[in-house]
A and B are shown apart, each in its own frame.
Chain A
Amino acid sequence: DTEVTQTPKHLVMGMTNKKSLKCEQHMGHRAMYWYKQKAKKPPELMFVYSYEKLSINESVPSRFSPECPNSSLLNLHLHALQPEDSALYLCASSREAGARGYGYTFGSGTRLTVV
């Protein structure tokens, strides 16, 4: 298995809703990442998990709450989002954080629309 699987592929949510994005990999990677990508822009790093511990939080608003239940799973919990949070959310994994990106693989993304 050489894939990073993200679910759902599309999500529409209201500003008062609570939802979660899920990411899964079975490549034995110990680093997992969340990115946010707006249209026609490069991905922006949000969070880095290394060995299931949060190692980087790029000053992301608290309405985004990451969780790494185990080495294969990464969640992003969403609450009270704003319309400007609408974007493509990408998950990625690599063998280890800082290991020169060995095995760096992106998921297909979740297209989030906040109404």
Chain B
Amino acid sequence: KNQVEQSPQSLIILEGKNCTLQCNYTVSPFSNLRWYKQDTGRGPVSLTIMTFSENTKSNGRYTATLDADTKQSSLHITASQLSDSASYICVVIVSDRGSTLGRLYFGRGTQLTVWP
């Protein structure tokens, strides 16, 4: 079972609408959680980074929330644009320096399509 689960797997919305993507994780010990945007055939680009003590973080039209107690995060996109069409990946980084050295735990991503 994947330790980082994202939903929905895919989403289609109309331009200008808002949407929320979900991420649930079981990875521990938790250090920080990141949301990345990945265009097809390109590398992931960081949108937000949230540590244990942060509940909300915004980056332009992107707002991420984190509930470390329930191990849930969400990414809210407001006023969607055609260029928002991409895969959105939730990534959890652990704080253990042992066998998890250098490892990121990836969700499978939510494929967002914005239609005009």
Contacts and interface: CB of A to CB of B under 8 A. Distances in A.
B101 A97 contact: yes
Contacts of B45: 106
Interface string B57-82: 00000000000000000000000000
Interface in A83-115: 88, 90, 94, 97-98, 100-101, 104-109, 111
Interface string A57-99: 0000000000000000000000000000000101000100110
Contacts of A94: 102
**Residue among A40, A97, A107, A111 having the largest count of chain B Cβ atoms under 10 Å:** A40
A48 B101 contact: yes
Contact of A107 (B41, B43, B97, B109): B43
Contact of A97 (B36, B44, B102): B102
B102 A42 contact: no
Contact of B106 (A43, A56, A107, A111): A43
A45 interface: yes
Q: Report the contact-size class of chain B (Cβ under 8 Å from the partner).
A: 20 to 34
Interface of B: 31-32, 34, 36, 41-46, 89, 93, 95, 97, 100-104, 106-109, 111
B43 A108 contact: yes
Interface residues of A, number: 27
Contacts, number: 60
A48 B97 CA distance: 14
A15 B95 CA distance: 40
Contact of A100 (B31, B44, B46, B109): B31
Contacts of A20: none
**Residue among A42, A48, A50, A98 having the largest count of chain B Cβ atoms under 10 Å:** A42
A55 B43 contact: no
A104 B46 CA distance: 9
B43 A106 contact: yes
